[in-house]
Structure 1
Amino acid sequence: MTAVFTPLYDRVLRWSGHPRAPWLLGALSFAESSFFPVPPDVMLAPMSLARPRRALWLATLTTVSSVLGGLLGYAIGVFGLELVLPLIVELGQIEAYEAAREWFAAWGFWVVLVAGFSPIPYKLFTIAAGAMAVPLLPFVLASLLGRGARFYLVASLVAWGGPRLEPWLRRYMERIGWACVVLLAAALVYTRLA
């Protein structure tokens, strides 16, 4: 079987040592919270591995960029929902978007806290928050806490594992990658059936 995730992991690990890698991480974190499908963990983890002493700084950069991107998603929900709703439908994410709206209606502020760990893409929560006029300050605070918890956890665990973790990650990257694909597919099936 051809390896898919290991070469990608190797490439990202090489990029993570580049002097401009933090800029790319910040841009990816910003974009993922409002419109881009790739989570920043794919860069944060290897960068924390390559620079364990800077892992917490990288987690901070990822969190702040993600929250700023979340504000763009919020603005899209407030001002441009009718423009992006057809795209959400076309991408097959309408059920996930509706689930995010239902969660906001039921739990409000607390949804944003857990959204960082949810199988539903975070960008759908940010757009739904804007569309439902969730108060901005609680949205920002919950985003900082929820997203920060996720990114600090990832960066800390990888930095703690350090160089001894790298061979293990590389050896199991295909299994980890395919497990993530299966989990994502299961989450999509669940949101369609729920």
Structure 2
Amino acid sequence: MKRLYLWTLSLAARKSAEVWLAVIAFVESSFFLIPADVLFVPMAVATPQRAYRLALIATVFSTLGGIAGYFLGYYAFEALARPVLEFYGKLDAFQQIRACAGPDTTAILLVTSGLAHLPPIKVVTILAGVVHVGFGFFVLSCLIARGARFFALAWLLRSYGETIRLFIEKRLKFVAAGTAAALIVLYFAVKVFAGSGAMLSC
């Protein structure tokens, strides 16, 4: 894992870094283990004037990768998606979420995974295909949640540069995870008080 992380990080120094950012953003959404943030952050610090361009690249290709994961879940779960989840040790987590998640629950997980990788993006994109979340909604949620994450990072790095990098790399994930958890709690609280029935499908 550490070697894979360091290899991904090293891509930021290459002339083809933007191409690699697009590739990593794409594959992290369906089968790759290292998030695009690992590559995006040092690139945005090195060239802050291009931070928003990099955020756009990451958002678009992360969404396209999410679409690939969606179709894996929708059309080829047993043949392709299950082996991918087993390879990364995510199959049990996927099955637990799948047992209790209907289309509405998966919708909120799409937002939280896009904002904070909670649960992991690849798990939720495949799940969205398996439970047949509406494709248009799926694409829109990916663009909004992942765009919010990358453009927020771009603004922070463009505004504060290297001084904010340590905070982003060490602490921002906890802030984002807390925000995502709060969204989940709020979602289920609204369902309960609205009298919509069980909080989960199972």
Q: TM-score range by the shorter chain?
A: 0.7 to 0.9
CA contact (8 A) 1:112 1:125 kept: yes
Shift in Å, 1:81: 0.3
CA contact (8 A) 2:106 2:127 kept: no
* TM-score normalised by the chain length of structure 1: 0.74
SS at match of 2:72: helix
SS at match of 1:19: coil
Q: Which residue of 1 aligns with 2:85?
A: 88
CA contact (8 A) 1:16 1:50 kept: no
SS at match of 1:45: helix
Whether 2:147 is the aligned partner of 1:148: answer: yes
SS at match of 1:98: helix
Q: Residues 158 and 100 (structure 1 numbering): CA distance in 2 closer, same or farther, change over 3 Å?
A: farther
Query: Could you tell me which amino acid in structure 1 is paired with residue 65 of structure 2?
Result: G
Q: Which residue of 2 aligns with 1:192?
A: none
Q: Which residue of 2 aligns with 1:191?
A: none
Shift in Å, 1:115: 1.6
Q: Which residue of 2 aligns with 1:111?
A: 109
Shift in Å, 1:104: 4.3
Shift in Å, 1:96: 2.2
SS at match of 1:60: helix
Q: How does 1:49-64 map to 2 (within 5 A)?
A: 49-64=45-60
SS at match of 1:39: coil
* More displaced stretch, 141-150 vs 83-92: 83-92
Q: Which residue of 1 aligns with 2:136?
A: 137
Query: Aligned Cα RMSD in Å?
Result: 3.1
* More displaced stretch, 62-71 vs 103-112: 103-112
Q: Which residue of 2 aligns with 1:162?
A: 161
In the alignment, the residues of structure 2 paired with residue 104 and residue 114 of structure 1 have an alpha-carbon distance, to the nearest angstrom, of 16
Q: Which residue of 2 aligns with 1:46?
A: 42
The unaligned stretches of length 5 or more in structure 2 are 178-202
Q: How does 1:1-16 map to 2 (within 5 A)?
A: 8=6, 12=9, 15-16=11-12
CA contact (8 A) 2:112 2:119 kept: no
Query: Could you tell me which amino acid in structure 2 is paired with residue 78 of structure 1?
Result: Y
Q: Which residue of 1 aligns with 2:121?
A: 122
Q: Deviations over 1:115-164 (max 9, x none)?
A: 21143210111111111111100000000001111111222222222144
* More displaced stretch, 80-89 vs 70-79: 80-89
Q: Residues 68 and 90 (structure 1 numbering): CA distance in 2 closer, same or farther, change over 3 Å?
A: closer
SS at match of 1:46: helix
Q: Residues 8 and 165 (structure 1 numbering): CA distance in 2 closer, same or farther, change over 3 Å?
A: farther
Shift in Å, 1:74: 0.6
Q: Residues 70 and 16 (structure 1 numbering): CA distance in 2 closer, same or farther, change over 3 Å?
A: same
Whether 2:94 is the aligned partner of 1:97: answer: yes
The unaligned stretches of length 5 or more in structure 1 are 184-194
How many residue pairs were aligned?
A: 169
Query: Could you tell me which amino acid in structure 2 is paired with residue 113 of structure 1?
Result: V
In the alignment, the residues of structure 2 paired with residue 90 and residue 109 of structure 1 have an alpha-carbon distance, to the nearest angstrom, of 25
Q: Which residue of 2 aligns with 1:186?
A: none
Give the % identical residues.
Answer: 33
